[in-house]
Amino acid sequence: MSRKYFGTDGVRGKVGSNPITPDFVLRLGYAAGTVLAQTSHDPADREHPAVIIGKDTRISGYMLESALESGLCAAGVDVLLVGPMPTPAIAYLTRALRLQAGVMISASHNPYDDNGIKFFSAQGTKLPDEVEAAIEQKLGEPLQTKPSAQLGRVRRIEDADGRYIEFCKSSFPNELDLRGMRLVVDCAHGATYHIAPPVFHELGAEVIAIGNKPNGLNINDKVGSTHIETLRQAVREQRADFGIALDGDGDRLMMCDGDGTVFDGDQLLYIIAKHRRETGACKGGVVGTLMTNLALEHALGKLDIPFARAKVGDRYVLEMLLEKGWYWGGENSGHIICKDKHTTGDGIVSALQVLTALRMNKTTMGQYTRELTLYPQVLINVPTARGFKHSEHTSIAAAVQAAEQELRDSGRVLLRPSGTEPVLRVMVEGQTESLVRACAERISVAVREAAGVRG
C-alpha cells in the first residue's frame, strides 16, 4: 500500500500541523505499539513488548514524548525514557537492551519548529517498509485501550548517556589515543551536547565545545553541519588541529582541517575507505548515492575498491549495503554508515574513524585526501507541474545526450524529481566548471520549455 505519513526517514512536519500534533502522535504510538507486538517472533515480547523513546533538544519534544508515551502505554507497551539523546544512540540502546523497537523524536537538521518521529527495529535498523505500512493501516482503526492490568509501564534509564559514550569510545582502537590533539566540536545545540565532548575528551583530546547550550529553540541555528562557517571560524580562532560538526540529532558529520578547509561526506567516506584498505580491513565496496561526487567513484577505483550508487537517502544506502554484504557507505551531506561499527549512520563514530586514520598516519585530512579532488557540481531546480515526466520529452533527452557527449567519461548528468516540492533537479558535474555550468543551463532551458515555465 502507498504510505501517507511515512517518508524516507519516518514521519516529519511542522509542529502543530498534521501529522505533528499531540493527537496524531498519540494514535501513532498506539498503532506502532500494537503492530510491533504483533510482529514480534518472541511470545513473551508479544505479551508485553518494550520500547525506548529518545528525543533531540527541540522544545516540542516534551509534548510529543508525552503523547507517544500515552499511545504506547495504551497499547500495552512498556516505555523506557532517556531524554535528549542522539538518533544513533537510540538505535544502539534498542539493540543493546533487547527491546522490540526504538523511537526517536527529531527533525534532524531542520529548524526547531519542525519535528518528526522515526522508528528503529529490534536490530537497530530502520523499520521495514511492510511494518511501516502496517502501522499506517492501524492508524485508520479505532484506538482501543488495553485493560488496566495490561497497560504499559514507564521508567527512565538514568545511565543511558554513559552507556552510549562507552559505545562510541569502543569504536576507536584501544592502542590509540587523542592526546595532544586540539578539537573544536560543534554540537548544533542538539542531542549530542552532553555526549560528543566527553567522548573526545575521555580519549585524550583537548576539546573546545561550541553549539552545546540548547534552549529548545536554537537547534541547528547558525551552528552544526549545515552551517559549517561557524566551525571554520572557531577552528581558526582556537588554532585547533581539527573541527567536528554534527547536526541536531547526531547522525550527520562535517569536519575541518586546522586551516579551516571543510571536508564533506564524500571526502570523509574516502578517508575511512582508504584507511580500511591500507589496514587490510576493507572487504567489499562502498555505497554512495546518485548525488555522490564522481571524483570519489574514480578515486576509489584507483584503490581497487568497488563502488555502487543507491537512491538518495541513508535508508537506501543501508539497504544496498545489506544487499551486497558491504560495510561502508554514505552521502555527501555527511550521513556515513560504518556497518562494522554500528547499524546506522553515526556522526561521532564516523568522526572517530576519520581520526583513527589521521592519527595512525600522522597526517591531516588535506594530505590524506590529496588524490581526491572533487569535481565541480551545478544543481539547478527547475519549477514544474506536479507529476511532470521529463522522460517523455524528446527535447530534454536530446539536451541530456548532447551534454553527456561533451562531458564524455569525465562527467555525468542527473535529472531527479524532488520528493517534497514541484521541481525537477538538474545536476551536472565534470572536471571543468565552465563546461558543467553551460551544460546544466542548456538542460534547464530544455526542461523549462517542455514544462511550459517562463524565465
Closest listed residue to residue 258, CA positions, set 181, 353, 357: 181
Asked if 171 is an active-site residue, the reply is no
Question: Can you tell me the distance from the alpha carbon of 389 to that of 409, in angstroms, rounded to the nearest whole number?
Answer: 27
A 10 A CB-CB count for 426 gives 28
Q: Write out the three cell numbers for 302.
A: 584507483
Question: Which of 60, 108, 225, 444 is labelled catalytic?
Answer: 108
- Cross-strand partners of 361: none
* 388-409 core/surface letters (b: 16 or more CB in 10 A; e: else): bebeebeebeebbeebeebbee
> Cis before residue 22, ω within 30 degrees of 0?
no
DSSP 355-378: HHHHHHHT--HHHHTTT--PPPEE
DSSP 311-330: -SSHHHHHHHHHHHT--EEE
Whether the Cβ atoms of residue 416 and residue 380 lie closer than 8 Å to each other: no
Instruction: For residue 442, give the amino acid letter.
Output: R
* 37-63 core/surface letters (b: 16 or more CB in 10 A; e: else): bebbeeeebeeebbbbbbbbbbebbeb
Closest listed residue to residue 272, CA positions, set 296, 241, 246: 296
For the purposes of burial, counting CB atoms within 10 Å of the CB of 245, is it exposed (0-12), middle (13-18) or buried (19 or more)?
A: buried
Give the number of residues written for the chain.
455
- Residues 42-49: contacts with CB under 8 Å, at least 24 apart: 45/100, 48/76, 48/77, 48/78, 49/76, 49/77, 49/78, 49/99, 49/100, 49/101
Instruction: For residue 283, give the amino acid letter.
Output: K
Residues labelled as active-site residues = 108
